[in-house]
Chains A and B, each alone.
Chain A
């Protein structure tokens, strides 16, 4: 019996090549997309699990709030956290730190000198806490000397052209460091970054300097602290004693609390494998994942498989009448309904099996470009990984079962008496069910178009309008420090319209929260040092008052520390200080407490005059929101004045860039200068959002293609079914246009119905997603109209070809058909 079923199935497949190909192609594409999405989801949950002993290893995180801020979580802690924890808690087997310089150190070999962004400074025992895979050398001792340096293989090849240049020397910021070990390049599925790990024992290392500059409790968080617990120790046993530890061993310095107010803080142990999906990105080495995004992408994968499965069901049931005679004969010969269900389910499984094989091949082919897009190194070892092969087969079987059961029931339900007399019978199954499935397919499609369009609009807004500054043709040249001399010489170049130095705070690379007090109103506000002309470079005009002017000495904090200096507020800052309008703030005196002020005056209570209020603007992107801020013309020190912002006229860009390079070569410290347009910087900052948008767009395109495949096949079959009717209509005088309208309208109806389902769901989903941004586009009704119209047009394009062929055929051919 099974041999008979198999022979029937295979020959039926071979005889109906077009429909079989459409079914297999649709299922294969759907499965392949779902496979790649599953690999991505699995990758997201696999972070840092490659590190041996990861279950006993934790990142120490900090939770904190001040009287004027909400609770926030950060990955970085004070530099003294690790040694103090190790001393206090015997349950901690080892504790180690990583830190990174704000400015990339210059790594040099011979004439090659490169600012390496991913240079980390580490405690000598870091690789006992985080034992990453080693290629050469001994990681246990590699950083025990101040000149110890560990490279990744990629860096070893970059500088030495070899995989294991042990003993070789590199200059790091002019200091010789010896290569003591080489590790494998860190995979993409780790929260860690690092091409270089320098020994924190080096006197010039950021780790050593932090220890010298920062005392315990100075609220300076710039170090990643890792602890490895002894085997069997529960983190809860330590966490419940951390509040006392903080209070006794790491209290906030009293002087600081008098400035910023009472600080509430707590330490927590975050499992290594949970770091990537931890909701907070504050202080993170690199942006983490987002469980909601993962869930959304996983849902899209399920929807794509659903669309492919719907294709399968609609095609099988629509063409069921071609098997009606066979069903009637088999029943007449004594086949039970269950025998036929087994037969047709088996055929469904055959299609699914074939599609799975094709899908696996497709996924293998598409994995490298997918890795490129997602910036991952995912692998697809389905033969060697039972945890992958098993689910693949399992899901294929489940989909085959679910998709095949309805056609099997329809086909096996044909009554022999009705089908054996001869003549054509109607398609199997309820036409309402088939229409309903097409409605569902197109509802998913319309929903995906709505999502894709909204994500694209929000991304464009994030890249352009959300900053609220004119960033076109604005170049950032990262030099430390940016001096008046450098600025003035660049300003003199023909292609430069305006230029000003900028601090890391002004560019939202970091923040410095100071306190301002106006009358009885006190508030924590971000303070940002700028240069004369900074606002003008970005086209920011004051809402009230004026901007900084070089001719006024009181506008320069550094010029006369004894005078009442000037500050400019942003809108949010003015509101936070209690001013009803921007104008109301002008001329008011604010008393400024803060580390920057204190560094230059030692007077924590200097009066400053509010000279202007500017609109809110930001370089952080729409998710972060715009903080209440004030601006001052600050000192051009290396750690503060980090970049020159230059507005170019856009006509002589290569010459202008070359001119800036020449000026830097002349006045600079001999180190390379990194240049980037603000557009490029924002692109990098928003790269994850961009990638998500591209992924969703690709999935939507794929879903569209699969749905159109099914619609094409269904329309071809429906047109064939209605051949006699069309022949009669034409004999009665219907023209080609009349027939075309008849056939096209049949497939327009479900698409129109699909909009009724997709629009409210799309609105609810996108409204929730957009509410996660501090600044976002509005949900435009035109987006929904566009999605619905696009779906209708796509359906028309898909079916009109078949419909036209049938509509133009001669009536006699149609009537003779019967």
Chain B
């Protein structure tokens, strides 16, 4: 489904050059659940941003469904992102001024489709994550676990082919973390490709494969059960 080929990412200022990723090559198949692990500052989030087309690599190729998107314009990346990728963030990143239902709907309003169809999809997504009863609440009225469910619902509502989760359980307690992991695993079972950055070995165990990064490079890949 996606393949990174010698991807490097360097951040440059007038005085400092920081290499966040260095010649990283990985491949993720359709329907795979991949966990990415490593110490802080190893480039996990940078990798996820590039996979999610939120950032562009400095060097290398990124093949997404057979297209090398590394040199694509922002407009083209935007279309690919909108049509194929859902995001779950560590700090939830819900919009405070919108209700739960409206937050989930944000994933649909930039696509074509009628208001009625959108509402139905939002209702289904909220039902799926068990937060439908809070549809009219604002994020600040929810607990952390509930907010992350909303974020997962937002990631799932458009039925994306790829779900990127950046430490989705990092700000949650054990129980809530388990619940969110259950939702992501469920999405993977349903056929979505999931790439998840995590610090938790326990949660990484839910993935089919774990990729470890260190200082911007891939140091190991472990298959489930091995």
A326 to B49, CA, bound (A): 17
Whole-angstrom distance between the Cβ of A671 and the nearest chain B Cβ: 77
Q: Which residues of B contact A339 (CB under 8 A)?
A: 110
- CB pair B89 A334 closer than 8 Å: no
Determine the main DSSP class of B at the interface with A: loop
Bound together, the chains give a CA A481 to CA B81 distance in angstroms of: 97
B78 beta carbon closer than 8 Å to chain A: yes
Partner of B82 from the list A326, A334, A422 (CB cut-off 8 Å) is: A334
Once the chains are docked, how many angstroms separate the CA of A421 from the CA of B45? 8
Asked whether A325 and B95 contact (CB < 8 A) given A7-B102, A334-B82, A334-B83, the answer is yes
Q: Please list the residues of chain B having a beta carbon within 8 angstroms of any beta carbon in chain A.
A: 45, 49, 52, 54-55, 74-75, 78-79, 81-83, 87, 89-91, 93-98, 102, 105-107, 109-111, 154, 166
A335 close to B110 (CB less than 8 A): yes
B97's contact among A11, A334, A417, by CB below 8 Å, is which? A11
Cβ distance A19 to chain B, nearest Cβ, rounded Å:
14
How many whole Å from A3's CB to the nearest CB in chain B? 8
Q: Does the CB pair B106–A336 fall under 8 Å? A: no
Task: Identify the closest chain B residue to A3 (Cβ).
Answer: B115
Taking CB atoms, residues of chain A closer than 8 Å to B83 are 334
Q: Could you tell me which residues of chain A, from 322 to 359, have a CB within 8 Å of some CB in chain B?
A: 325-326, 328-337, 339
Q: How far is the CA of A238 from the CA of B95 in the complex (A)?
A: 75
Instruction: Say whether, besides A417-B54, A422-B90, A334 and B95 are in contact (CB < 8 Å).
Output: no
Q: Which residues of A contact B93 (CB under 8 A)?
A: 325, 328-329, 420, 422
Nearest to A419 among chain B residues (CB) is: B93
A15 proximity list for chain B (CB < 8 A): 96-97
Contact at A332–B54, with CB atoms within 8 Å? yes
* Interface residue A8 (Cβ < 8 Å from any Cβ of B): yes
CB distance from A343 to the nearest CB of B (A): 10
CB atoms of B105 and A7 under 8 A apart: no
Q: In the assembled complex, how far is the CB of residue A327 from the closest CB belonging to chain B, in whole angstroms? A: 10
Choice from B55, B95, B107 contacting A415 with Cβ under 8 Å: B55
Q: Are B54 and A420 in contact (CB under 8 A)?
A: yes
A416 within 8 A of B: yes
Which residues of chain A are near B107, meaning CB under 8 Å? 333-334
Partner of A331, one of B78, B94, B98, B102: B78
The residues of B that contact A332 with a CB separation of less than 8 Å are 52, 54, 81, 87
B96 touches A336 (CB 8 A): no
Closest 6 A/B residue pairs (Cβ): A334-B82, A422-B91, A11-B97, A334-B110, A417-B55, A417-B49
Q: Are B90 and A334 in touch, CB under 8 angstroms?
A: no
CB closest chain-A residue, reference B170: A422
Q: How many residues of A contact B (CB 8 A)?
A: 26
> Given the interface contacts A334-B82, A420-B89, does A329 sit within 8 Å of B54 by beta carbon?
no
Sample 6 A-B pairs with CB under 8 A, ordered by A number: A4-B102, A329-B106, A330-B106, A332-B52, A420-B89, A422-B91
- Give the complex CA separation of A351 and B75 in angstroms: 30
* Distance between A237 CB and nearest chain B CB, rounded to angstroms: 66
Which A residues are CB-close (under 8 A) to B89? 420-422
Q: Which of A4, A325, A331, A416 contacts B109 (CB 8 A)?
A: A4
* B-side contacts of A422, CB under 8 Å: 89-91, 93
Considering the chains assembled together, what is the distance between the CA atoms of A331 and B54 in angstroms?
Answer: 9
Q: Is the CB of A336 within 8 A of B105?
A: no
Q: Which residue numbers of A lie inside 8 Å of B, CB to CB?
A: 1, 4, 7-8, 11-12, 15, 325-326, 328-337, 339, 415-417, 420-422
Query: Which B residues touch A328, using CB under 8 A?
Result: 93
Contacts A334-B78, A417-B54, A420-B54; A329 near B95 (Cβ below 8 A): yes
Q: For the complex, give the distance between the alpha carbons of A416 and B102 in Å.
A: 20
Q: Is B82 touching A333 in the complex (CB atoms < 8 A)?
A: yes
Bound Cα distance from A193 to B108, whole angstroms: 70
State how many angstroms separate the Cβ of A337 from the closest Cβ of chain B: 7
B166 touches A334 (CB 8 A): no
Minimal beta-carbon separation of B50 from chain A (angstroms)? 9
User: What A residues does B74 contact at CB under 8 A?
Assistant: 337
Complex contact B106–A333 (CB within 8 A) = yes
Residues of A within 8 A of B95 (CB): 8, 325-326, 329
State the Cβ distance, B112 to closest chain A Cβ, in Å. 11
Whole-angstrom CA separation of A4 from B55 in the bound complex: 26
**A325 CB contacts on chain B under 8 angstroms:** 93, 95
- In this complex, which of B49, B75, B154 has the most chain A Cβ atoms within 10 angstroms of its Cβ? B49
How far is A416 from B82 in the complex, measured between Cα atoms in Å?
14
> Closest residue of chain B to A4, judged by CB?
B109
Inter-chain contact B78/A7, CB cutoff 8 Å: no
Query: A336–B97 contact, CB under 8 A?
Result: no
B101, chain A: closest CB distance, angstroms = 11
CA–CA, A336 and B76, complex, Å: 10
Give chain B residues whose Cβ lies under 8 Å from the Cβ of A334.
78-79, 81-83, 107, 110-111
- Would you call B97 and A12 a contact (CB within 8 A)? yes
Q: In the bound complex, what is the Cα–Cα distance between A7 and B138 (angstroms)?
A: 13
Q: Which residue of B lies closest to A9 (CB)?
A: B97
B111 touches A421 (CB 8 A): no
Cβ-defined contact, B54 with A416, below 8 A: yes
Question: In the complex, what residue of chain A is closest to B87 when comparing beta carbons?
Answer: A332
B75 contacts which of A1, A336, A417 (Cβ < 8 Å)? A336
Q: How far is the CB of B129 from chain A (nearest CB, A)?
A: 17
- Closest B-chain residue to A15, C-beta based? B97
Please measure, in the bound complex, the distance between the C-alpha atom of A331 and the C-alpha atom of B55, giving whole angstroms. 12
**Using Cβ atoms and an 8 Å threshold, which residues of chain A touch B90?**
421-422
Most chain A CB neighbours (cut-off 10 Å) among B55, B89, B94, B95: B95
Chain A residues with CB under 8 Å of B82's CB are 333-334
B54 adjacent to A333 (CB under 8 Å): no
B94 CB contacts on chain A under 8 angstroms = 329
Q: Is the CB of A8 within 8 A of B91?
A: no
Whether A421 pairs with B166 at a CB distance below 8 angstroms is yes
What distance in Å separates the Cβ of A323 from its nearest Cβ neighbour in chain B?
A: 9
Tell me the smallest distance from the CB of B37 to a CB of chain A, in Å: 17
A residues less than 8 Å from B49 (CB atoms) = 416-417
Docked Cα-Cα span, A41 to B132, in Å, equals 60
Q: A4-B106, A332-B87 are in contact. List 15 more A-B contacts (CB 8 A).
A: A8-B98, A11-B97, A12-B97, A326-B95, A333-B82, A333-B106, A333-B154, A334-B78, A334-B83, A334-B110, A335-B110, A336-B75, A415-B55, A421-B90, A422-B89
